[in-house]
Amino acid sequence: MDTLTHGLSSVLLARATASGSRDRTAIAAGRALSLRSRLTVGFLAGIFPDSDFLVRLIDGPLSYLKHHRGITHSVLMLPLWAGLLSLLFVLLWRGQYHWKAFYAVCAMSLGIHIFGDVITSFGTMILAPLSYAKFSLPSTFIIDFWFSGIIILALLVAWIWRRQGQQVALVGLATLAMYIGLQHFQAWQARDLGRTYVQQQELEQAEVHALPQPLSPFNWKIVIEQPQQYHVSYVNLHRRQAIALQEEQTGMLERINAIYQPLSRLSWQTLSRYGETAAQDLARNVWHKAMLKDIRDFMLFPALYRIEQREQGLCAWFQDHRFILGDARNVPFRFGACRNGDNDWQLYRHQGDHIVPLSP
């Protein structure tokens, strides 16, 4: 989930649980937060876990791949982070409130942030530092305008009808929960389509995945994973007719939305994990090199993008099907290695038309 939505969802939760903050005696004694302070603390605590992006500024993109959604997103570390944030807020509010007044808001805000990340397909290390396994129950795309819109609408209505603000926020949270429930139902339907295809094609060692997609809760990418290949389909579970595009009048969002076909036109692509036969040995050899370990740990559905000759030498590039939309040219998190002559392979990141060296 994007950081702003995390912050706003925390504000909504803080508003929905704010009835006790109207106790003037407790507020005056520093045992409870004023409504304004409560919402401010909710927002700041709600965006705190994404402070791990600083790792990327300090130690580069590979550290970001390893540590993003790690220790700051751990449910095991949540009590500690809530305590530390509470002490920080005591200082920021110049001792106006006791640290216990901040603690519950911080804990709830961190919790809803972690939940908001777990329901995306990126993966979250909720058991760090005991385990760095990534957990995901993918129902929601990482930037979901409908999800964010529900939160923003609820906050606006709660601000307009302030006396009923808590009730409005509770309705907003309930609506958000129903929306997530709808998305999980759509995920089940998408996986069922994949399971039907597996049975029809008699695919062996096949595992079916459904990945939420942008623009609509009905847009899904179905990935059937086999040891040497993937079967991929893009579907809109509600659409009755395919979208006809007129190239000269089509914007980026329209092109993306048109990727997803109605059930009546469901089609499948079969994509090799290591490319065509002539390239498979080289691709497999590069993919399993030690320098790509962090890339292997990060990519859930890795596949060869291309093998090409550059001035840096012969290069093999890999990408993750989680982040591919149709035939999109620019794909995030595309990595590989290049070798010039008999030199050792060097690690690079592929960014559009440029490549960035990552090897020391």
At residue 188, does pLDDT exceed 50? yes
- Which residues does 53 contact at the CB level (< 8 Å), separation at least 6? 64, 68
The identity of residue 214, as a single letter, is P
The pLDDT of residue 359: 67
For the chain, what is the mean pLDDT? 91
The pLDDT of residue 22: 53
The pLDDT of residue 326: 80
Q: Count other C-beta atoms under 10 Å from residue 337's C-beta.
A: 24
Q: Supply the DSSP symbol for 69.
A: T
Task: Tell me the Cα Rg of the chain.
Answer: 23
Structure confidence at residue 20 as a pLDDT band (50, 70, 90)? low
The pLDDT of residue 246: 67
Q: How far, in Å, CA of 335 to CA of 128, rounded?
A: 26
Would you state the structure tokens that stand for residue 247, as one six-digit string? 């190239």
Would you state the structure tokens that stand for residue 172, as one six-digit string? 């907003």
- pTM of structure: 0.90
| Mean pLDDT of the region 126-149 | 95
- Tens of pLDDT along 37-46? 999 999 999 9
Characterize 29-61 residue by residue with b for buried, 16 or more Cβ atoms within 10 angstroms of its Cβ, and e for exposed: ebebbbbebbbbbbbbbbbbbbebeebeeeeeb
Q: How far, in Å, CA of 274 to CA of 302, rounded?
A: 9
Q: How far, in Å, CA of 229 to CA of 232, rounded?
A: 10
| Mean pLDDT of the region 5-17 | 97
| Mean pLDDT of the region 205-230 | 96
The pLDDT of residue 64: 78
The pLDDT of residue 113: 97
Instruction: Determine which of 116-130, 168-182, 219-233, 248-262 has the lowest per-residue pLDDT on average.
Output: 248-262
At residue 212, does pLDDT exceed 80? yes
Would you state the structure tokens that stand for residue 354, as one six-digit string? 């440029």
**DSSP letter string, 207-273:** EEEEEE-SS-TTEEEEEEE-SSEEEEEEEESS-SSPPPP-GGG--HHHHHHTTSBPGGG---EEEES
- Quickly list H helices, 119-204: 145-160, 165-201
* % of the chain residues with pLDDT over 90: 73
Is 96:31 a contact under the CB 8 Å cutoff?
no
Residue with tokens 């008699």: 202
- Tens of pLDDT along 50-108? 998 887 666 666 777 888 899 999 999 999 999 999 999 999 999 999 999 999 999 99
Which conformational region is residue 307 in: left (phi greater than 0), alpha (psi within -120 to 50 degrees), or beta?
beta
Would you state the structure tokens that stand for residue 193, as one six-digit string? 């389509």
Q: How far, in Å, CA of 244 to CA of 225, rounded?
A: 30
Q: How far, in Å, CA of 344 to CA of 314, rounded?
A: 11
Question: Peptide bond before 129: cis, by omega within 30 degrees of 0?
Answer: yes
Which conformational region is residue 318 in: left (phi greater than 0), alpha (psi within -120 to 50 degrees), or beta?
beta
At residue 280, does pLDDT exceed 50? yes
The pLDDT of residue 44: 97
Is 271:230 a contact under the CB 8 Å cutoff?
yes
The pLDDT of residue 249: 56
At residue 21, does pLDDT exceed 50? no
| Mean pLDDT of the region 206-218 | 95
The pLDDT of residue 93: 94
- Tens of pLDDT along 289-306? 999 999 999 999 999 999
User: Which of 50-59, 89-98, 319-328, 337-346 reaches the highest mean pLDDT?
Assistant: 89-98
HSE-CB for 222 with a 13 A CA cutoff: 32
Structure confidence at residue 284 as a pLDDT band (50, 70, 90)? very high
